[in-house]
Amino acid sequence: MLLKMTLATSLIALSGLAHAQMTPTGLWKTIDDDSKKEKSLVRITESNGVFSGRIEKLLDPATDQKAVCDKCSDDRKDKPILGLEILRGIKQGESDKAVYEGGSIVDPNNGKSYRARLKPVNGGAQLEMRGYLGPFFRTQVWHRVE
C-alpha cells in the first residue's frame, strides 16, 4: 500500500513538472543563424498571463558586452543589449494552448521588430521561436538551460 501511494505521489509530481516545462518560462540558449555558435541566454518570464524575455548573458566572447541597440526605433533605442527586453506581449494561444503568440521580438542587430510565436517542443527541452514579417517567417530553435 505504501509503495502504491509513493508511486502515485511521484507520478503526480512528475506530471506537474512536465506541464511546467511545456511553457516558454525559463532560461534559453540562443544559437546564431549564420555561425551556428551559442549567442546568448534569454530569460522568459510570465506576469498575469503575459510572457516577456530579456537577454541575460551574451555568450560569444567576441561580442561587445557594452553594446547598445542603436538601430532600435522604440523605447529600446540606445539601451544596452545585455538586459534588453527582446520579447514582449506574448500570450498563450486561445485555440492552440501549445503555442504562445500575439507579441513581438526585436532583433538587436538590426533593430527590426517581428511578430513572435513560441512553441515548446521535445517535452519542453527546446523552444521554436518564430519571427514573422508579413507572410514570411524565420524559425530558430532555442535550448532550455533551466
Does residue 6 surpass a pLDDT of 70?
Answer: no
Closest CA to 69 of 11, 106, 111: 111
Split at pLDDT 50, 70, 90, the class of 17 is very low
Topology of the domain covering 2-144: Lipocalin (2.40.128)
All structural domains of the chain with their residue ranges: 2-144
Residues 6+ apart with CB under 8 A from 67: 80, 81, 82, 108
Which DSSP string corresponds to 110-138? Answer: T--EEEEEEEEEGGGTEEEEEEEETTEEE
pTM, whole model, 2 decimals? Answer: 0.84
Question: pLDDT digits over 51-67, tens only?
Answer: 999 999 999 888 899 99
Residue 4 is given by DSSP the state H
Per-chain mean pLDDT for the chain: 88
In the numeric block, the cell 506541464 is attached to 19
Question: pLDDT digits over 67-99, tens only?
Answer: 999 999 999 999 999 999 999 999 999 999 999
Split at pLDDT 50, 70, 90, the class of 15 is very low
